[in-house]
Amino acid sequence: MTKKLTILGSTGSIGRNLLEIVAQFPDRFQVRALAAKSNARLLAKQVEHFSPQVAVVYDAESARALYEALPDNHPVTILTGEAGYFEAATISEVDTVVTAVVGAAGLLPTLAAIDAGKEIALANKETLVMAGDLVMKRAAAAHVRILPIDSEHSAIFQCLQGQRRADVDRIILTASGGPFLNTPPEKLVTIQPADALDHPTWRMGSKISIDSATLMNKGLEVIEAHWLFNAPLDAMKVVVHPQSIIHSMVAFRDGSVIAQMGIPDMKGAIAYALSYPERLPLKQPLPDFAALESLTFGKPDLERFPCLALAFRAGKTGHTLPAVMNAANEVAVDAFLNERIPFLKIPQVIGAVMDRHDVVTDPTLTDILAADRSARRSAQTLIDA
Ligand SMILES: NC(=O)c1ccc[n+]([C@@H]2O[C@H](COP(=O)([O-])OP(=O)(O)OC[C@H]3O[C@@H](n4cnc5c(N)ncnc54)[C@H](OP(=O)(O)O)[C@@H]3O)[C@@H](O)[C@H]2O)c1
């Protein structure tokens, strides 16, 4: 059967990798909608190649740019803004919606897709960080499957195949440690965006690259895994594994540990989410174990990388605090990328915004979105001060 796809975030790192897989298996996948924010040139190329019926960009200016970048009389329907993303996420004949936009922008279209009964291939971890309880409940109510694209979550998902949840003792997420794993504290003071964007093992978008450098990415992933696998925060462990060959592990109550391995490349995880439970003949290289010589493991340094501790705190508190942490992180990362704050200010801003937040228990979607907005204002005020 050909799976019909909507790809939200098609011009990003995940989106581009995913479209390579779609191009490799044209009999298996058809693209019905592509959505980006403003990269009209790349989106136009993707539209020409994959012939979706709908293409979405954020605003009218990007829509004009997309229209001009396409050949005359191209039949694609160009839509804009929230309404456009919703329409793309709910096209009736689409089977799977891939959520590969970055940040909080992923939440509402993902919820719309769930409510429309679409299977979700989820890269956008911020969706579950902000509103994991609500999203998982809506998915259960709509009998919708959420298949992880994040490599750690794909690994955990793979390790859990054929296992009883009751037998799981703990989930062990591996972290590369990012580009500053061995950087002494005094050198962290002067880090520039270009240094932080230079990840040793993964090629990714700018926001997730900075999150990897602060270890916030691992914190977001811990919360994401907590919701995806219905596992308590206390059962989540993080281990630093700089080679990124083991993508994550699950430990069982008899002392067995199952690990999922592969080269550090997102294609395997993306393909598994698209073709589950089948595996596609991707022709990916295997890890060259003999050449690797050793796989190493260590403890994350929560003093040098306080974002991971902040994320555990947010996850354990729950309710609106993870959404607040996520929003403050987005604003702080953007400020760092624009050289408005130094690297070490990122966790300070997030921590201060979390401290100021009055947690709303059992939040509705409206409460979560209000917490997100207020945290953004609060973070911006701290940055501007
Ligand atoms: N990259 C990885 O290897 C990786 C691995 C695991 C998980 N993830 C997760 O996957 C998500 C995407 O990451 P990425 O690295 O692919 O990001 P990216 O390269 O920055 O791409 C982001 C995509 O989202 C679009 N976008 C940005 N802001 C938007 C908005 N407000 N509304 C609608 N679309 C918007 C971008 O469009 P434009 O190009 O037009 O700006 C682009 O298509 C993130 O949540 C990340 O944590 C990524």
pLDDT along the chain (385 residues), means of 10: 96 98 98 98 98 98 98 97 98 98 97 98 98 98 98 98 97 96 93 91 90 97 98 97 97 98 97 98 95 95 96 98 98 98 98 98 98 98 96
Ligand 1 atom at shortest distance from the alpha carbon of 103: 45
Ligand 1 atom at shortest distance from the alpha carbon of 124: 45
Please state whether the predicted TM-score (pTM) of the whole model is above 0.95: yes
Which residue is listed with tokens 């990388």?
A: 305
Residue 192: the pLDDT is 95
For ligand 1, mutation pick of 41, 110, 208 (most atoms within 8 Å of CB): 208
- Atom 2 of ligand 1, nearest CA residue: 204
Reading the block at residue 171, the tokens are 């989930």
Ligand 1 atom at shortest distance from the alpha carbon of 39: 40
For ligand 1, mutation pick of 6, 7, 10, 13 (most atoms within 8 Å of CB): 13
Which residue is listed with tokens 């130094």?
A: 342
Cβ distance 113 to 99 under 8 Å?
yes
- Atom 5 of ligand 1, nearest CA residue: 150
For ligand 1, mutation pick of 37, 129, 152, 244 (most atoms within 8 Å of CB): 37
Residue 168's beta-bridge partner residues? 252
Residue 333: the pLDDT is 98
Cβ distance 309 to 214 under 8 Å?
no
Centre of ligand 1 to C-alpha 123, Å, is 8
Kindly report the length of the chain: 385
H or E element at residue 54 = strand 54-57
Q: Ligand 1: residues whose CB is within 6 Å?
A: 9-15, 36-39, 58, 100-102, 105, 123-126, 150, 202, 204-208, 266
Ligand 1 atom at shortest distance from the alpha carbon of 62: 40
- Atom 20 of ligand 1, nearest CA residue: 205
Ligand 1 atom at shortest distance from the alpha carbon of 101: 24
d(CA 108, CA 65): 25
Cβ distance 127 to 107 under 8 Å?
yes
Which residue is listed with tokens 């598994």?
A: 272
Centre of ligand 1 to C-alpha 13, Å, is 7
Ligand 1 atom at shortest distance from the alpha carbon of 36: 37
19's CB contacts (< 8 A; 6+ apart) are 7, 10, 31, 46, 49, 50
Residue 219: the pLDDT is 98
Q: Which amino acid is at 55?
A: A
Residue 39: the pLDDT is 98
For the chain, helix (H) and strand (E) counts, in that order, are 17, 11
Centre of ligand 1 to C-alpha 27, Å, is 26
Centre of ligand 1 to C-alpha 99, Å, is 9
- Atom 41 of ligand 1, nearest CA residue: 37
Residue 201: the pLDDT is 82
For ligand 1, mutation pick of 39, 46, 59, 102 (most atoms within 8 Å of CB): 102
Centre of ligand 1 to C-alpha 256, Å, is 36
- Atom 44 of ligand 1, nearest CA residue: 102
d(CA 113, CA 126): 16
Ligand 1 atom at shortest distance from the alpha carbon of 151: 6
Helix 151-160 × helix 216-228 angle, to 10°: 30
For ligand 1, mutation pick of 98, 107, 202, 204 (most atoms within 8 Å of CB): 204
